[in-house]
């Protein structure tokens, strides 16, 4: 669906894809699933309801609520509800700053997506799932910033997911009805994994450079299998 800058644009692109799908064309990822995945909060709610570990997260429309959450959670991340590349996410410890940030977001009529900051190593894990298989995973390491997006300067390194992470990744992808996905997962220093988001249109330059695995090949195989069914 690309970069979206207005509701009309989102609705128009979604309608176009739905019309294609309704006319019998097989699309991957399916538009309904992409729509949900685009909304970070809506997708985390679905994951949580399926028993997948996610950070404490809220959407609020009051700066007082944002301030209260910053007080309760001590350190929070306020990020665009529908965003990517780490752009526009801020990490806040001061409740007054949370208040001001929330106020400015609300002044442009956007909801405030706020999440507990998860203490983690200087990296996160990008897990790439196609169909019901993990095709590979990488660490995204950033010593200069808490944002571990490749677009924010993170370096990549191959890693093998353990059984549990593999299970989390495959289940998250299927809960959201996605054919393929790139999950962002942090290793919580206080224990366990936490899924930050499930990307329905993940970039894979960094993944490809680190693993030499080309997701396109797996996505096409998956599509062919789906068409045969
Ligand atoms: N709650 C959090 N705790 C710790 N780090 C976070 C948190 N939220 C985001 N980050 C960091 O910021 C990066 C970008 O956040 P993410 O939720 O994946 O949004 P985006 O769509 O911008 O990639 C993550 O890869 C992670 O490194
Ligand atoms: Mg991300």
Q: What pLDDT, in 10s, does the model give residues 69-98? A: 999 999 999 999 988 888 999 999 999 999
- 89 C-beta closer than 6 A to ligand 1: yes
Residue nearest to atom 25 of ligand 1 (CA): 148
* pLDDT score of 229: 85
Per-residue pLDDT of 159-196, as tens digits, reads 999 999 999 999 999 999 999 999 999 999 999 999 99
CA distance 57 to 41: 8
Tell me, what DSSP letter sits at residue 94? -
CA distance 139 to 29: 24
- Residue 91, beta-bridge partner list: 77
* pLDDT score of 54: 98
Q: Confidence class of residue 5 from pLDDT cuts 50, 70 and 90?
A: confident
Residue 14 has pLDDT above 90, yes or no: yes
- The structural domains of the chain, ordered by start, are 33-53+119-228 (3.30.470.20), 57-116 (3.30.1490.20)
Residue 6 has pLDDT above 90, yes or no: no
CA distance 127 to 162: 11
Ligand 1 atom at minimum distance from 199 CA? 21
**What integer is the mean pLDDT of 34-43?**
95
Tell me, what DSSP letter sits at residue 150? G
Strand order in the sheet with 90-92: 57-60, 112-116, 76-79, 90-92
The full length of the chain comes to 229
* pLDDT score of 157: 97
* pLDDT score of 33: 97
Per-residue pLDDT of 99-115, as tens digits, reads 999 999 999 999 999 99
CA distance 122 to 212: 23
Please enumerate in sequence order all residues whose Cβ is within 8 A of that of 134, keeping only pairs 6 or more positions apart, or say none: 127, 128, 161, 166, 169, 170
CA distance 170 to 127: 9
- 179 C-beta closer than 6 A to ligand 1: no
Q: Which two tokens stand for residue 217?
A: 């090949």
Among 147, 154, 202, the mutation site with the greatest number of ligand 1 atoms within 8 A of its Cβ is 147
């Amino acid at each position: 669906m690309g970069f979206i800058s207005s509701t009309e644009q989102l609705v128009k692109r979604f309608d176009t894809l739905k019309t294609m799908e309704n006319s019998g064309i097989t699309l991957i990822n399916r538009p309904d699933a992409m729509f949900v995945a685009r909304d970070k909060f809506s997708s985390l709610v679905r994951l949580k309801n399926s028993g997948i570990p996610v950070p404490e997260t809220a959407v609020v429309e009051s700066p007082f609520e944002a301030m209260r959450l910053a007080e309760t959670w001590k350190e929070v991340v306020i990020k665009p509800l529908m965003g990517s590349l780490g752009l526009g996410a801020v990490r806040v410890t001061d409740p007054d700053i949370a208040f001001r940030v929330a106020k400015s977001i609300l002044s442009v009529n956007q909801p405030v997506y706020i999440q507990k900051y998860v203490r983690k190593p200087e990296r996160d894990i990008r897990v790439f799932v196609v169909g019901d298989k993990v095709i590979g995973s990488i660490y995204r390491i950033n010593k200069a910033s808490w944002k571990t997006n490749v677009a924010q300067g993170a370096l990549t390194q191959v890693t093998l997911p353990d059984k549990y992470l593999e299970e989390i990744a495959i289940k998250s992808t299927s809960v959201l009805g996605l054919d393929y996905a790139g999950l962002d997962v942090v290793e919580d220093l206080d224990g366990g994994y936490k899924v930050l988001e499930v990307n329905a249109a993940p970039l894979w330059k960094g993944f490809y450079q680190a693993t030499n695995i080309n997701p396109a090949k797996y996505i096409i195989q998956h599509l062919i299998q789906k068409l045969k069914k």
